[in-house]
Amino acid sequence: MQLGLIGLGKMGGNMAERLRRAGHEVVGYDHSPGKRDVESLPALIEALTAPRVVWVMVPAGEPTRATVKELAEQLEPGDVIVDGGNSKYTDDQIHDVMCREKGIGYVDAGVSGGVWGLENGYALMVGGSKDDVAKVQPVFDALKPPTPKDESGQEMPGAGFVHAGPVGAGHFSKMVHNGIEYAMMQAYGEGYELLAAVDLIEDVPGVVKSWTQGTVIRSWLLDLLVRALDEDPALEKISGYAEDSGEGRWTVEQAIENAVPMPAIAASLFARFSSRQEDSPTMKAVAALRQQFGGHAVHAVREQEVERPA
């Protein structure tokens, strides 16, 4: 089928390539002149045959909101917009109302797979009406991983793709997925730190690699940690600053709103905040309190770290 794709970055560009390899026609638009097939959104719409499907793969937030709004003003009844970024599910519900007023379908697709999706396929969590999802299904089928088989050789239908529910359900599912990802990465990181902190373990990368086969904690994330340690065994080339892109925060917000206990995911989110502090004000207060009530020693700030007035 024919697809318009807006956003040809690391994921969008690979998705376009995977779709083309599967025999689909992709008309791509990007702000970067070297990547795009057309020069503007109107030109992209003009290049597509109605009813059109246009997939938005740009950063979440205002870039996506502006793109969807512009498309809704230019597309025609019967066309479908797919948001494949990491938008908050409440944005999807607003976009759906706006599009429905113009007779345009709207589908939200949570996409996981990163830069590896070109070869491995992308896990897809989709929200929208049954009819709108059906219009995009050939694209979903091409993007998702091959159907896996169980130990007996039987195919496992449904793995790698789900129509999770109405509009918003796709990105809500991806939000929870990313919250779990936060906690898993935090656990691997803490395990790595403890291994590296003791003299008893002489081959930390080797221990981590040994976990990748036959253990209950093996995973693709663990494979990626092994890859990182192969490239930099002591992780000396990277700082300990970890950004968060929003989904972890939204997951914790929803946990609070729905009274669902999520201590592991919440702790992993707060750990990312801690990573951005060179000298924690909280721990300064803790040290001061220990000195006040118990006379415990505190470590003075080294002279070279003190900012002196000019």
- pLDDT for 189: 92
- pLDDT for 126: 98
pLDDT at 8 over 70: yes
Q: Which of 15-24, 56-65, 97-106, 239-248 has the lowest mean pLDDT?
A: 239-248
Q: Which domains does the chain have, with CATH numbers?
A: 2-166 (3.40.50.720), 175-274 (1.10.1040.10)
Question: pLDDT tens, 80-99?
Answer: 999 999 999 999 999 999 99
> In 266-308, which ranges are E strands?
none
> How crowded is residue 302: how many other Cβ atoms within 10 Å of its Cβ?
7
Question: pLDDT tens, 286-299?
Answer: 777 677 777 767 67
Question: pLDDT tens, 98-131?
Answer: 999 999 999 999 999 888 899 999 999 999 999 9
Q: Is the dihedral of CA 69, 71, 77, 83 positive or negative?
A: negative
Q: Closest Cα partner for 145 from 130, 158, 134?
A: 158
Question: pLDDT tens, 222-234?
Answer: 999 999 999 999 8
- pLDDT for 302: 55
What is the 8-class DSSP label of residue 262? -
ω into 51 cis (within 30 of 0): yes
Query: What does pLDDT average to over the chain?
Result: 90
- pLDDT for 306: 43
Tokens 């026609």 — which residue?
A: 25
- pLDDT for 273: 86
Start-to-end CA distance of the chain, whole Å, equals 66
> How far apart, in Å, are the Cα atoms of 155 and each of 141, 149, 285, 306?
15, 4, 57, 63
- pLDDT for 114: 84
Q: Which of 1-10, 65-74, 227-236 has the lowest mean pLDDT?
A: 227-236
H helix runs in 165-203, sequence order? 169-197
* Catalytic-role residue among 174, 209, 237, 284: 174
Q: Closest Cα partner for 72 from 97, 38, 109?
A: 97
pLDDT at 252 over 90: yes
Does the annotation mark 102 as catalytic?
no
Q: Which helix (H) or strand (E) holds 5?
A: strand 2-6
Q: Which of 50-54, 189-193, 238-242 has the lowest mean pLDDT?
A: 238-242
Q: Closest Cα partner for 168 from 267, 96, 231?
A: 96
Question: pLDDT tens, 150-207?
Answer: 778 777 777 899 999 999 999 999 999 999 999 999 999 999 999 999 999 999 999 9
Q: Which of 29-38, 101-110, 210-219 has the lowest mean pLDDT?
A: 29-38
